[in-house]
Structure 1
C-alpha cells in the first residue's frame, strides 16, 4: 500500500490555452510541478492506461466527472485524471469528453508513474509503457487512501476495473465522513 507516502516531485509539460497567441492553435507550453497540482489541497488523482481507451472513456473518466459535486461535498478540492500520454492527447481527450470539473495531467514520459511504481509494459496491446489503473486521495501531496486494481504486472491480459472506480472512491469518502461524524 502507498498510504502515507509523499508523491514524487516531477515537472509535467503541459499545453495551456493562451488567447494572446491568436491563430488556429492558441496554446503555449507551461511547466507544472507536483506541488502546483497537489500542495495545500485534498484531491483525487486517478490514472489509467490511455486516453480514448474504452473503459477509461466510457466509465472511469465520465464517472468522476458526473460525481464531482458529491466529491466536493466530501472535502475534495480537485479531481485529476493522469495518463502516460502527452499534453496534446490529454487536452484533446478532455475536450472530447466535455470535461468541466475533472482536470487532466499529462505524464508524457511516464516519469511520475514510474517513480510511483505504477509503470507497466502494455506491449501486448501495442501501448508500450503505461500506467496501471489506480485512484488515490491525496492530502497536501501525501497519499491518504489508495485504490489499485488487482494483478498489476507487465502485459496483463486483461484491464481490471472496479477498485479505482469513482463509485468505490466515493463510498470510501462517505465512510470516512460517517466515521468522523460519529467521533
Structure 2
C-alpha cells in the first residue's frame, strides 16, 4: 500500500555522487526540518525521465526555491554510478540531489514500486512527486502511466506551492 499524505517517510539510506565520491544520505539528513520536493523516475536516461520530467525540475529550480522549498531531489532505482552520470550529463549535478535507491528499499517501503520485468527493467519506482515537510508527506502526485510526467511534473508542483 502506498504512503499517504500526512504520513512520515520511513527511514532509508540513499547513495549520491558528490565531488568527493559517493556518500550515503539518510532520510533524516535530507528531510528533517526542511521543505523538500522529491520526485521519482522509473529510470535515469530513459526518454520521459530525461526529456520531460527532470528538465522541468531543473528549469524551475529557482522558482521552487523562491516558494520556500529548501531542497529538490530525484530518486530512482539505479546505482549511484548511473545517477551520477545522469546528473553530470543533464547539467543537474550540484543543483538537485540525484539519489540512488539501488536496491529499491525506499521505493518498496513507501509502496510505490512497480515490476517492469516485462520490459527488461526489473523492479522500478512509479513516477511521482511529493512535497515533504519535516519528513511528513504533505502532497503526493502519482502518475497513472510511467510514460507521462504531468501531475508529477515541476509545473504541477509549482501550482501546489
Report whether the alignment pairs 1:164 with 2:152.
yes
In the TM superposition, residue 146 of structure 1 has moved relative to its aligned partner by: 0.7
Q: Assess, with a 3 A threshold, how the Cα gap between structure 1 residues 16 and 161 changes in structure 2: closer, same or farther.
A: closer
Report if the CA contact (8 A) 2:16-2:98 is conserved.
no
| 1:179 alignment partner in structure 2 | none
Q: Assess, with a 3 A threshold, how the Cα gap between structure 1 residues 14 and 74 changes in structure 2: closer, same or farther.
A: closer
Question: Which shows bigger deviation, 161-170 or 83-92?
Answer: 161-170
Report whether the alignment pairs 1:40 with 2:33.
yes
The size of the alignment, in residue pairs, is 158
Which runs of 5 or more structure 1 residues have no equivalent in the other structure? 19-26, 152-157, 174-183
The higher-RCO structure (CA 8 Å, 6+ apart) is 2
Residue number among 109, 117, 138 corresponding to 2:111 in the alignment: 117
In the TM superposition, residue 89 of structure 1 has moved relative to its aligned partner by: 0.4
1:36-78 Cα deviation digits (max 9, x unpaired): 1111110100001000000100111011010011111111011
| 1:96 alignment partner in structure 2 | 89
Residue number among 79, 87, 97 corresponding to 2:72 in the alignment: 79
Aligned mates of 2:35, 2:111 — CA distance in 1: 22
Question: Which shows bigger deviation, 55-64 or 5-14?
Answer: 5-14
Report if the CA contact (8 A) 2:76-2:124 is conserved.
yes
State how 1:19-34 maps to structure 2 within 5 Å: 27=21, 29-34=22-27
Which runs of 5 or more structure 2 residues have no equivalent in the other structure? none
Aligned mates of 2:99, 2:65 — CA distance in 1: 19
